[in-house]
Structure 1
Amino acid sequence: MNILTRFSVGQYVYGNRSWLRIIDSRLKIIVIMIFLITPIWAGPIWRLSLVGCLLLITFLSLLPSRVWWRSLCLLSCLSLFIGFISILASFDIQSIDSSLRNPNELEVVLESYKNWDILQIPSQRVFFIDFGPYNFSRKAFELGIKTSTLIFTVIHSVNLMLLTTLQEDIVWGLSWFLYPLRKIGLPISKWLFQLLIALRFIPLVQEEFQNIIKSVSVRAINFRNLGFKKSFNLILILVERLFQNIFLRIDQGAESLLSKKKIIIKTNRFRTSYPSKFLNVIVNTLTICFILIAIFLRKLYGAL
């Protein structure tokens, strides 16, 4: 199993089929910041709208389905699982029948409380274990939506950008935004060079992980015969070997950089030049319109 081709997470996929590739990297960074920042202090409707917008962009991006469908399914399952755990963790496990005060004193509060609850599960006994009572409120449901949509939005939006944008182009776009900070003496070029190395290092980590999986599959290890304790020890050994290989790659990269006496970093060279076509102008113009509409809708409908 080739993980690098089956799960293209965080690495650029070469090609020219998608219109996402011709969008200016500076506009992509602004769009990504919209997906990352606007969910803060936003209601569930806006968060679900961002998820729907991301799915729509993914389906209409003209990217090959083999590039994104596996990672999309895995991320969707992970987000739903974490959202479900958040809902269970926020259950109100207080008794439904018992009341600490006279209900006649809090008629208004009780009426709003009844409207706020979605589901009430009374106490039940299964064999010798008592379950409940559980109070499934709308607040718990909103918490599940917030956690699941936040994980999906953050990971999938960044992954879409990395799939369709060269690492050098991302670094150049960030350098364009951070250019005023150079006037006050901050080492922006060095920071961006470190970011470029980190982005280049993502496929190496995936390759080492793939090598570990291949080594286990070749040896045909039967975890059932090993038992729980030995299987757990074997997993720890594999994780340790994975980190050792990653640190070895880091040492090799550091030695290659230290062997050079002086490194001249010019972020202007990282810019990818696209031919000026009418389609590029249309796509970038529509992207600017999308940014303005998203900011307007966030201000209008995104509040809690």
Structure 2
Amino acid sequence: MNCNHATFLLVSLPPPPPLLFPKFHYPVPKKTLLTLNLKRNPILRIKASKDDNGQSPNWSKWIPTGSFAADKVFRLISSATASPIGQFVSSPTTFLHSIDPRVKLVWLLVLVVLPARSHIIMRFGLVAYLTLLSIWILPRNAWKDQLGRVYFLSALLFITIGLGSDGVPALVQSRTPPPAVSGLPNLPISLTGYSYVISKLGPLTFTRKGLSVGSTVACLTFTVFQSASLCLTTTTPEQLASALRWFMLPLRYIGVSVSEIVLTLLLSLRFISLVFDEVRNIALGIVSRRVNWKQLTVMETIDIFFNYFRRIFKNIFSHAEQISQAMIARGFKGDVDNHKIYFLSESSFGMADIVCLLNLTVVIGASLLSEYYLV
């Protein structure tokens, strides 16, 4: 018979005993340094505390939180242009305010030439001299701001040029055979301790050539920027234009339009303060609106920066148009020779100017002698 039924054996097993795990109690810290908010946004939040009362120190506000710090950029721009850069400072009045502007221009010309033609000791001596003079002449907030930036730029140039001028050895092979092959004696080792290589920084080498070139460029940069800043801070634009006109008067006999050059210089010096004011005021206007930069995309942030620069140029061109209209209203018709320029003060040559010229002669003589006696 055919059977269509099947019998299965069912075995019932008892349930397994539960596994007993030991219970460990972990101490929960009172302060959580890293908190993860996984429900809303997986953002790593960092908190810094100074002591147990939860007060944060000053450095905790500098910890980046992941958002674009455009607000700090505008604050930096507004603070950088707050100090007078290339602008006349009338107070406090120092002896440099009473020096004839023609003597100042001669000093500027000499300070541009000397760093490239003098010994390295004289270069750093000129830097120290200008530093002390800036601290003495300029207000405290002005010289701290200016010297910090100029020193940073000069140090950056010194490091990059000093290591880059002769720092990386050339990948060439000398074709000159060694002295042993040609039968010549070896060159004697210097007994004075002279070494062309000063120090090595991995693959880079700091040599005497790098020291000379780097110090020349760094000192020249510092003297040009800081001497020009001292001259513009203690001299009015009218006095500088009058001094330049006095030096350029002989060029009129060869057809040079001295009056046009002087008028252009005078307008340029007057325009410097307007440019810095516009840059600072527009940056302060953006900061005062308290824009929520975290909610903006990258393109929206870039658009704000483009609008910022566009507004600067628009205001500058507006000021230029107002100046041109004011000149036309005062009778200026484009002919500079027939339009008289009135300078507010006349230059006077006194005892202080003679002392400055004598000091300039001493500095030039010391720089020339340093090339022969300081080796």
TM-score, with structure 1 as normaliser: 0.80
How many angstroms apart in 2 are the aligned matches of 1:104 and 1:271?
75
Partner of 1:283: 352
Note the C-alpha offset of 1:170: 0.8
How many angstroms apart in 2 are the aligned matches of 1:4 and 1:135?
36
What RMSD over aligned residues (CA atoms) do the two structures have, in Å? Answer: 3.4
Change (3 A) 1:141 1:169: same
1:91-113 deviation line (CA, Å, top 9, x unaligned) = 533389x9756665695499699
Partner of 1:186: 256
Change (3 A) 1:121 1:204: closer
Partner of 1:116: 196
Tell me, what secondary structure is at the counterpart of 1:148? Answer: helix
Runs of 4+ in 1 over 6 A off after TM superposition: 109-114
Of 73, 80, 86, which aligns to 1:10? 86
Percent identity of paired positions between Structure 1 and Structure 2 = 27
Partner of 2:95: 19
Tell me, what secondary structure is at the counterpart of 2:115? Answer: coil
- Runs of 5+ unmatched residues, structure 2: 1-74
How many angstroms apart in 2 are the aligned matches of 1:3 and 1:257?
33
Q: Is the 8 A contact 1:167 1:199 kept in 2?
A: yes
How many angstroms apart in 1 are the aligned matches of 2:162 and 2:207?
9
How many angstroms apart in 2 are the aligned matches of 1:160 and 1:109?
51
User: Given residue 283 of structure 2, which amino acid in structure 1 is its aligned partner?
Assistant: I
1:30-88 deviation line (CA, Å, top 9, x unaligned) = 11111122223444333222212211322343x43233221122221222123222234
Partner of 2:150: 75
How many angstroms apart in 1 are the aligned matches of 2:370 and 2:239?
33
Larger relative helix fraction: 1
How many angstroms apart in 1 are the aligned matches of 2:200 and 2:276?
45
1:114-134 deviation line (CA, Å, top 9, x unaligned) = 711011244xxxxxxxxxx22
Change (3 A) 1:17 1:288: same
Question: 173-182 vs 135-144, which deviates more?
Answer: 135-144
Note the C-alpha offset of 1:288: 1.4
Of 248, 257, 260, which aligns to 2:318? 248
Residue 29 of structure 1 pairs with residue 105 of structure 2: yes
Partner of 1:272: 345
Tell me, what secondary structure is at the counterpart of 1:149? Answer: helix
1:169-190 deviation line (CA, Å, top 9, x unaligned) = 1111111111111233321011
User: Given residue 144 of structure 2, which amino acid in structure 1 is its aligned partner?
Assistant: W
Change (3 A) 1:177 1:95: closer
Question: 65-74 vs 28-37, which deviates more?
Answer: 65-74
User: Given residue 46 of structure 1, which amino acid in structure 2 is its aligned partner?
Assistant: M
1:1-304, aligned counterparts within 5 Å?
Answer: 6-15=82-91, 17-61=93-137, 63-90=138-165, 92-94=167-169, 100=174, 104=179, 108=187, 115-122=195-202, 133-223=203-293, 226=296, 230-259=300-329, 260-262=331-333, 264-266=338-340, 269-270=342-343, 272-273=345-346, 281-301=350-370
Change (3 A) 1:5 1:215: closer
Between the two structures, name the one with larger relative contact order (CA 8 Å, sep ≥ 6). Answer: 1
Tell me, what secondary structure is at the counterpart of 1:136? Answer: strand
Note the C-alpha offset of 1:11: 0.7
1:161-216 deviation line (CA, Å, top 9, x unaligned) = 11111111111111111111123332101110110000000000001100221122
Note the C-alpha offset of 1:159: 0.6
Q: Is the 8 A contact 2:158 2:218 kept in 1?
A: yes
Change (3 A) 1:16 1:186: same
Question: What is the aligned length?
Answer: 287
Change (3 A) 1:261 1:90: closer
TM-score, with structure 2 as normaliser: 0.66
1:123-165 deviation line (CA, Å, top 9, x unaligned) = xxxxxxxxxx222212222222222211111011011011111
Larger Cα-atom Rg: 2
Tell me, what secondary structure is at the counterpart of 2:205? Answer: strand
How many angstroms apart in 1 are the aligned matches of 2:233 and 2:159?
29
How many angstroms apart in 2 are the aligned matches of 1:10 and 1:92?
36
Change (3 A) 1:52 1:240: same
Q: Is the 8 A contact 1:10 1:202 kept in 2?
A: yes
How many angstroms apart in 2 are the aligned matches of 1:37 and 1:240?
39
How many angstroms apart in 2 are the aligned matches of 1:283 and 1:225?
61
Q: Is the 8 A contact 2:237 2:269 kept in 1?
A: yes
User: Given residue 169 of structure 1, which amino acid in structure 2 is its aligned partner?
Assistant: Q
